[in-house]
Chain A
Amino acid sequence: AQSVTQPDIHITVSEGASLELRCNYSYGATPYLFWYVQSPGQGLQLLLKYFSGDTLVQGIKGFEAEFKRSQSSFNLRKPSVHWSDAAEYFCAVDSGTYKYIFGTGTRLKVLA
């Protein structure tokens, strides 16, 4: 069955520190993968996506993600976190049947 796992429910980092949010997927074919961010009380904003090609994809707000087929992972990274990055982050896979399957989300807290 298709699934997305985000192992970390909560992550706390200091402002200026680097960040890595983990995402593992289970999908039979070439996955189409996404990272979305949800700020408190807000909707979902697309950070970046992977469809094919270069396995390191750049997104908005200084985020990047690396697709590793051998590890079934699509981890999100940022070299230096800003206080405004505090939010909920969701990894998703396009199931190919008119729906996304989302992970359970990782809540990021940024310490000043």
Chain B
Amino acid sequence: DTAVSQTPKYLVTQMGNDKSIKCEQNLGHDTMYWYKQDSKKFLKIMFSYNNKELIINETVPNRFSPKSPDKAHLNLHINSLELGDSAVYFCASSQDQLAGARGTQYFGPGTRLLVL
């Protein structure tokens, strides 16, 4: 069983289009994340959700809208795609971060987005 899954694995689209990436985790975790990996392999947090509530929005353009219908899912919708959005997007999840306790983040396989 895949712990953190993402669909699609590859996404090729034209500038200006709207697309969505889905993420599901079956680990029973409370916190989910979206990271962006650019062409230089640099990984940066985009969003963090805890129990379906947005915790972190790391200065991401509002063309990106995450949605968490339940604790096991965190989807990413992107409007008006731009060339610079081409990247690999990783979903991750972890146990709830209680005071003094840290959860290990488990990553999905990534979605490779190419905007033409």
* CB-based contact B42/A105 at 8 Å: yes
A102 within 8 A of B: yes
Q: How large is the interface on B (under 10, 10 to 19, 20 to 34, 35 or more residues)?
A: 20 to 34
A32 within 8 A of B: yes
* CB-based contact A98/B104 at 8 Å: no
Contact for A34 among B48, B55, B97, B104, CB less than 8 A: B104
The listed residue with most B CB atoms (<10 A of its CB), out of A36, A97, A100, is A100
Within 8 A of A (CB), among B41-63: 41-45, 48, 50, 55-56, 58
Interface of A is mostly: strand
Within 8 A of A (CB), among B62-100: 90, 92, 97
Say whether, besides A44-B107, A49-B104, A94-B102, A104 and B90 are in contact (CB < 8 Å): no
Q: Taking beta carbons and an 8 Å cutoff, which residues of A are in contact with B?
A: 32, 34, 36, 38, 42-46, 49, 51, 88, 90, 94, 96-100, 102, 104-105, 107
Q: A100-B105, A105-B42 known; 19 other A-B pairs, CB under 8 Å?
A: A32-B102, A34-B104, A42-B110, A43-B110, A44-B90, A44-B107, A46-B104, A90-B43, A94-B102, A98-B33, A98-B50, A98-B56, A99-B33, A99-B45, A99-B48, A99-B58, A100-B45, A102-B42, A104-B42
Across chains A and B, which 5 residue pairs bring their CB atoms closest together, nearest first? A98-B48, A43-B109, A44-B107, A99-B45, A102-B43
**13 CB-based A-B contacts, threshold 8 Å:** A34-B105, A43-B107, A44-B90, A88-B41, A90-B43, A98-B31, A98-B56, A98-B97, A99-B58, A102-B43, A104-B41, A104-B42, A105-B43
